Each structure stands twice: as C-alpha cells, then as structure tokens.
Structure 1
C-alpha cells in the first residue's frame, strides 16, 4: 500500500504492485520495485558491489560530517549529500583490483566548497586525543580568517569515525580533539575542513595524515618516570647494599629486583645496628 500525503497532486510514498514511490529532497520519484535475481552475478557486478561496500563502510561512519561537507553542492540537486560523497570516493579514492579493492585515504574528500583549504596542516598524538595545527595567513580578510574548523579521525579497523563539526576559529591555528579509549592502539587517518558560521561556505577537506597505531596501552608520564628511576637504581645496586634488604627495599627497589642468589641473611647484632644507622644517614642525605 502506498500513501499520497498531499492529495491527488502529491507524490506517492510506498509500493503499489511492482512500483514503489519515494520523495528525496522534496522531489517525488517512482521506480520499479527491486527483485532478487536468480542469475549468477558477473565479475563486473561483483566488483561494483565491492566498491560500494568498501566506500559505504567508511561513509556510513561519518554521515553527519559528509552531510554538512557536501550539502552545498547537493543543494537543489536530485542527489543527496551522502550520494555526492560516495560518488566522489568511487571516482577518486579507490585503489587496487577486485577482489582486493581498498581505499587510498590520502585521496578521500569529505567536504567540497570554495573556501581556502588548510595550509600545511599537521596532527600530533596526545595522551587522550589529537592536536591539529595549521598555518595562519596574516594577510587574510576577517571573513576568511574566522571560519570554524571541522576535524575528523577515522579508524579503519573499527569502521568508526570521531569528529567535530564546529571547532576553533581558523585564525587560532590549532585545535584539540579528545578521542574515545576504543581508538587506542589503532591506525587513524585525520582530515580537516573549514566552514563559516552560517554554513553557506565551506572548504575542500584536506588529508592531514596517518597517526597510528595510537595510544600505546599502559604508557603515561608517571609510569615512564617510575620506570626510569628504577632503571637508575638497578645500575648501582650491589650485593652489599642488598644484604640489609629489610632496610633498603622501601627506599629504592622493588621485590622483583631482588635475586635470591644475592640475598645474604644476617642475624641482628651490634655490628649490624651500626651499619644500619650509617646506611640510614646516607639515605636521608
């Protein structure tokens, strides 16, 4: 059953027999209903299916980004922003031959417009995210210096994207984007665009580069500092210093650092007490 929401002059939405109707961008369309084919697919058909699958896998993770990125060129057209994004990638971003098709991430475009692109953009990996930077043109007019930055990071292994649609001003020259923990340890690809506040102008996206594998698990400044300190102590430990292990362990080494063959057990006596006091004085200094 189909519906005509606007009466006899309105477009058909739904199926009537072998015909289905739908509305896209305010325009009504009718097409023959798709049927499952029983004929084996040709190599060309299989190749086209893989192309759409590879491209769709990436674009589906960033629908809001490309919807804004290709909105202007799809405006008043019969195709959507999503279709425009996929069409561009099909023509320019695929590499290899079926059945080994994959994406050339440096050729991917996620926005298209007339604003100047980012100049010499770079991205650096931080503890909990990525820091984007780009050159500032001091001679640019105010309206060319104040668009907002759009940032995106894509993780192919996860088939996920993380992005911001309205970041820092272009004349800031830098912006930070925090990333979820799930992105740790994976290869990431970064992109940058600029867009005006009224969304009436946008730049082509620029590929910033690959920044992975990212976030090596278990690494932070405190752990690095502790490890370096332990390494320094291991260089100076001797059998004599380990002799009084009960005294020295809390100060400079861990249990794992003690090897059984180096430990010398002694009974408390006056000689031990004198040596222990001397060691304590050195530690306090």
Structure 2
C-alpha cells in the first residue's frame, strides 16, 4: 500500500502496483519491485553476495565514522553514506576467493573528501585507551585548523569498535580514544580521519595499523 502524506500531487511512500517509492535524502525515489528467481545462483553471484556480507559486517561497526566520512558526498544525490562506503570498498578491500573472502583492513576507506588528510598520524596505547597524534603544519591553510579528528579502533576478535567522530581540533595535534578493559587487551585495527567544522567536507581516512595486545 502506498501513502500520500501531502496529497495526490505530493510525495508517495510505499508500494503502488509494480513499483515501490520512498524518500531518500529528501528526494522521492521510485523503483520496480524485485522479482524472485528460481535459478540456482552462479559462482559469481555467490562471490558477490559473500563480498557484501563480509564488508557489511565491518561497516556496521563503523557507522558513526562513515556517516561523517561519506554523508557529505550523498547530499543532493540518490545515494546514502552506506551505499557510497560499500562502493568505495567492495572491489578493493575484500580479498580472497569464494568461499574464503576476507577484509584487508589496510585497504579500507572510511571517509573520502577534499580537506587535508592527517599529516604524519600515529597512535599508541595509553593507560585508558589509544593516544592519537598528528601534525598541523604552519603551512597548512588556516581553514583546516578547526577540522575535528575522527578516531576508530576495531577488534576483529570481539567484532566491536569504539569511535569518536567529533574529537579534538586539528590544531590540537592529539586526542585520546577511551577504551574499556576488554578492548584494551585485544588486537585492534585503527583509523583516523578529519571532518570539517561545518560537516560539509571530510578528509580521506588513514589506516594506522594493527596494534597487538600488550
């Protein structure tokens, strides 16, 4: 059943005959209803499905980062941050052959944009979390000085992540990502990025490596 919340000439939400309509980024989108297939999936189809499944498992744990990292690119389009993140990573960050495909954490892209990428970023374990450092060179345009850091640590073993998407200003050159005792003793995949003060731009994310447990 389709709904007409603003009258017959307005937006339609739901199913109408052979099509489905819905709102995406403020736009009314229409698509044909999917048709089921009785054919057995091909090897390529199975591989594609596994690629998406493997990638989605991780992306669900990085939602906070991805919203700021790709959300600005979705504005005014028929895409959303998740679609763009999948597109950016599906062909480059998933390795191996079906049925043994896996994530290459070093190749993951968690944000894309035109503002300055982290300069000489580094990370180290501290008592209550991870200390991130970077540089804000005097030569860097002043408009980038107020960008805010985004930090993420992911534990493959626990399938858990901790993220801050609005951390210290770039000019502070450091920040700490607090972690609980459980995360602190696990191997962690670590990422850093920056989001503009107005949230309309982001920097390409950087992979800071895999930190082994103490």
TM beyond 0.5:
yes
1:278 is matched with none
- 1:35 deviates by 4.6
- 1:177 deviates by 0.9
2:58 is matched with 58
- With CA pairs under 8 Å and 6+ residues apart, which has the higher RCO, 1 or 2? 2
Indicate the RMSD between aligned Cα atoms, in angstroms.
1.8
2:170 is matched with 170
TM-score by length of 1: 0.70
Structure 2, unaligned stretches of length 5 or more? none
CA distance in 2, matches of 1:200, 1:3: 32
CA distance in 1, matches of 2:89, 2:71: 16
Query: Which one is further off, 6-15 or 61-70?
Result: 6-15
Alpha carbons of structure 1 residues 119 and 24: separation in structure 2 relative to 1, 3 Å: same
State yes or no: 1:37 paired with 2:15.
Answer: no
Conservation of the 8 A alpha-carbon contact between 1:146 and 1:171:
yes
1:159 is matched with 159
- Can you list the C-alpha shifts for 1:176-208, whole angstroms capped at 9, x where unaligned? 111123324322111111122211332111111
- 1:112 deviates by 0.9
TM-score by length of 2: 0.91
Alpha carbons of structure 1 residues 143 and 32: separation in structure 2 relative to 1, 3 Å: closer
2:143 is matched with 143
CA distance in 1, matches of 2:57, 2:162: 14
Conservation of the 8 A alpha-carbon contact between 2:64 and 2:163:
no
SS of the residue 1:20 aligns to: strand
2:46 is matched with 46
2:91 is matched with 91
- 1:36 deviates by 4.3
Structure 1, unaligned stretches of length 5 or more? 217-285
- Can you list the C-alpha shifts for 1:19-69, whole angstroms capped at 9, x where unaligned? 322121122223333354332211111101001101111111122221111
SS of the residue 2:132 aligns to: strand
Structure 1 or 2: more strand by fraction: 2
Matches within 5 A, 1:54-133: 54-133=54-133
Structure 1 or 2: more helix by fraction: 1
Alpha carbons of structure 1 residues 125 and 12: separation in structure 2 relative to 1, 3 Å: same
